Chain A
């Protein structure tokens, strides 16, 4: 071996070390997001403006809440397809409680808290039903939540017809709207909510008994049962959490649109699951983190925002979104293979 080749070797090994560190860090998706951001910046310089960054943040929030719920379910090797219908159902139920146009509690000072309570109850109830069917009746999560999705998507539309002649329930009380737009200490209320949910979810997963049990159920359900983990309760809890998170997302969505609409969120199912999985959570259970989901959602929202800003035709929007997701996944797969070799 000659001296020069030794030198190149040394330099390339330094390079390699760096590449390796980036590739194997659990922040890979974050790095990819940054890379993507820099890549599109020449095309849409406005991406770097405060306004757009603020938009990206606020667009992330509701999606992030549902995605966090989904993370819990994926960790126990389940899947929750019903989240979109929970968003829709909670939206119209909440609106029907508080709308000024003949809501159940129209005009009452209790309307807003009662409506929000009703929304969370919808989420919990549907989540509980999913959990019950899966743990007590032994039905597969995919099909249970598929049927609840179909059922409540339809039910939300039907429910709306009892409250309005239009396709959505408007005239939500001022108090609710302000809640969505207001801020505490310069930080928007919705951000506070999502921060709270996110930190809570992170703590539950990383620090509490429930968190350990969720991972255990996803890793090896039988071993968990033998070790005294109340497997059924734990799995049911994951679906409850997912339902509640979807309901919170519904509050945020309904607040920003100031309307209870039965088609809310109907098209974002693949975005939700996609964001979680891109973040690194496994569809086969036992693996997942809240921060990963944050990065996954950031990545997707970043792509979406850039495509919106570019104002491209529909086909390029589809094609680019698909290509970027694929690229991210390929990079992830390649790095796991490198990891296996080193």
Chain B
């Protein structure tokens, strides 16, 4: 008998059926990979399982008994833990408090007071199981994304979950953190816990899952043991046709004209003596582990963070006082890794988001009125150029868009300025296969138009598939450089991991300070 069986699950929103009878089953100690494009019904299915949404039809059996969760708490009590893509952790509370937020151990068992000693002991046990070495009293706010993910898993373990659902767990993790997560998943599997793993990173799915189920348009279109589901098969099932390639053909080659020249940029404790040159028509990748200083370098280059020595020049002109404004004026654009926090105004319309960085260009000379018709036309044009898909390409709110379309909005915002230098920090994070391909194509168009792109990514395949050159950062320094012909994932990884890091973890610093 399977541990968990879902039969014919149905769900409609506003009279439109989005889930047309999804069925699958899961055994103890197995990992089920669930793949599909955005909108294929993965999240809806899992939200039903996790008690977030009620189902309209079908049945769920857990250990043979009917299972009908009325809310997240109910599902959890039944043994199904759901680890959302956006973690449900409270940064102002400590790790242990987050673990037990709905079920604190109490003094004397029933008194309304928290038994701190017991909580700490249990937290230590749980943290040990997920390899976190911070004291349980550490505030979650000072943990890295990967560590927070592990705290969520510990939370699931604390209630003896029988099934753990992971929704895109690796989007904000570095390779190393992801490896650590996979190790933990392996360990859980051996303990007999069943897991459902949702991800767009198909290589990961192949690597860790026992079985794979593919969803498309709210229905199961295929599935089977992982061994029988090579990546190409998954993709063709997901998109409903065969994809010839994951990356578009590059249509240009780099020129010799430098557009961005960075010389000796240093910031104590962050980056050291960074030299790099980006040419027109070039995609320059930056590889490295998380914490290697890639995003920090990007922020420094765009004037968001200060630096102590060195110069940044665009088109041969040194930027005097780098700030986002001056950098933009020199022709730079920056797509941040934190799309929701820094990239978009989630409650504003697409138009407002796209226009935000270019308001000055559409302002009348004296009174600074916005030339709304011209702006509207341009925004529409750019929207088409990035193939933005939305119910209302002008007035839809950013938060109503899928991740891929949100990212296109951010790109469109910068495209409107016609920049010469693009700094893209994890541009395809959390985006489905189809949208990724479109973003790659946009990048190609950009460089073909004479711009230079500096691209940071944690997905090695992506860098190797798209870049002309890859720099490897390690420890705040540029460790190695490879040209297209010399790409080799082993060598890149070796460069990225060379020299054991001796730097203090951010958590440790915060502790010393507090």
- Are A and B in contact, CB atoms below 8 Å, in the complex? yes
Binds A, one of B166-174, B240-248, B357-365: B357-365
- Interface of chain A, main secondary structure: helix
| Complexed CA–CA distance, A105 and B302 (Å) | 53
Please provide the 6 A-B residue pairs with the shortest distance between their CB atoms, ordered closest to farther: A219-B345, A227-B357, A209-B359, A228-B328, A227-B356, A220-B345
Q: B interface, how many residues as a size bin? A: 20 to 34
Known A208-B370, A219-B348; contact A226-B359, beta-carbon cutoff 8 A = no
Known A224-B356, A225-B304, A226-B304; contact A208-B363, beta-carbon cutoff 8 A = yes
B341 in contact with A222 (CB, 8 Å): yes
Question: Chain A nearest CB: distance from B71 CB in Å?
Answer: 19
Known A226-B342, A228-B325; contact A219-B357, beta-carbon cutoff 8 A = no
Known A209-B360, A212-B359, A222-B342; contact A227-B324, beta-carbon cutoff 8 A = yes
Cβ contacts under 8 Å, B344 to chain A: 220, 223
A223 in contact with B370 (CB, 8 Å): no
Known A219-B348, A226-B324; contact A207-B342, beta-carbon cutoff 8 A = no
Q: Is A229 in contact with chain B by the CB < 8 A criterion?
A: yes
**Complex A-B: 16 CB contacts under 8 Å:** A208-B370, A209-B360, A209-B368, A210-B368, A215-B348, A216-B348, A219-B345, A223-B344, A223-B345, A223-B356, A224-B345, A225-B304, A226-B342, A230-B325, A286-B345, A287-B347
Partner of B357 from the list A203, A222, A228 (CB cut-off 8 Å) is A228
Inter-chain residue pair count (beta carbon < 8 A): 70
Question: Chain B nearest CB: distance from A230 CB in Å?
Answer: 6
Q: Is B213 in contact with chain A by the CB < 8 A criterion?
A: no
Interface 1/0 per residue, A274-312 and B, CB below 8 Å: 000000000000110000000000000000000000000
Q: Is B369 in contact with chain A by the CB < 8 A criterion?
A: yes
B367 in contact with A208 (CB, 8 Å): yes
Question: Chain A nearest CB: distance from B412 CB in Å?
Answer: 12
A212 in contact with B370 (CB, 8 Å): yes
A227 in contact with B304 (CB, 8 Å): no
| Complexed CA–CA distance, A212 and B368 (Å) | 11
Question: Chain A nearest CB: distance from B34 CB in Å?
Answer: 29
Question: Chain B nearest CB: distance from A208 CB in Å?
Answer: 5
B348 in contact with A286 (CB, 8 Å): yes
| Complexed CA–CA distance, A157 and B342 (Å) | 46
* Further pairs besides A208-B367, A223-B344, A225-B304: 7, Cβ < 8 Å: A207-B370, A208-B369, A213-B359, A216-B356, A222-B342, A225-B324, A227-B324
A220 in contact with B355 (CB, 8 Å): no
A223 in contact with B342 (CB, 8 Å): yes
Q: Is B264 in contact with chain A by the CB < 8 A criterion?
A: no
Chain B residue with minimal CB distance to A222?
Answer: B342
Question: Chain A nearest CB: distance from B400 CB in Å?
Answer: 13
Cβ contacts under 8 Å, B345 to chain A: 216, 219-220, 223-224, 286
Known A212-B359, A226-B342; contact A219-B347, beta-carbon cutoff 8 A = yes
Q: Is B295 in contact with chain A by the CB < 8 A criterion?
A: no
Chain A residue with minimal CB distance to B357?
Answer: A227
Q: Is B152 in contact with chain A by the CB < 8 A criterion?
A: no
A207 in contact with B369 (CB, 8 Å): yes
| Complexed CA–CA distance, A226 and B323 (Å) | 9
B324 in contact with A209 (CB, 8 Å): no
Cβ contacts under 8 Å, A216 to chain B: 345, 348, 352, 356
Cβ contacts under 8 Å, A207 to chain B: 369-370, 372
| Complexed CA–CA distance, A226 and B328 (Å) | 10
Known A213-B359, A226-B304; contact A220-B370, beta-carbon cutoff 8 A = no
Partner of B352 from the list A203, A215, A225, A226 (CB cut-off 8 Å) is A215
Cβ contacts under 8 Å, A224 to chain B: 345, 356
Chain A residue with minimal CB distance to B355?
Answer: A212
Question: Chain B nearest CB: distance from A214 CB in Å?
Answer: 11
Cβ contacts under 8 Å, A209 to chain B: 359-360, 363, 368, 370
Q: Is B428 in contact with chain A by the CB < 8 A criterion?
A: no
Cβ contacts under 8 Å, B342 to chain A: 220, 222-223, 225-226
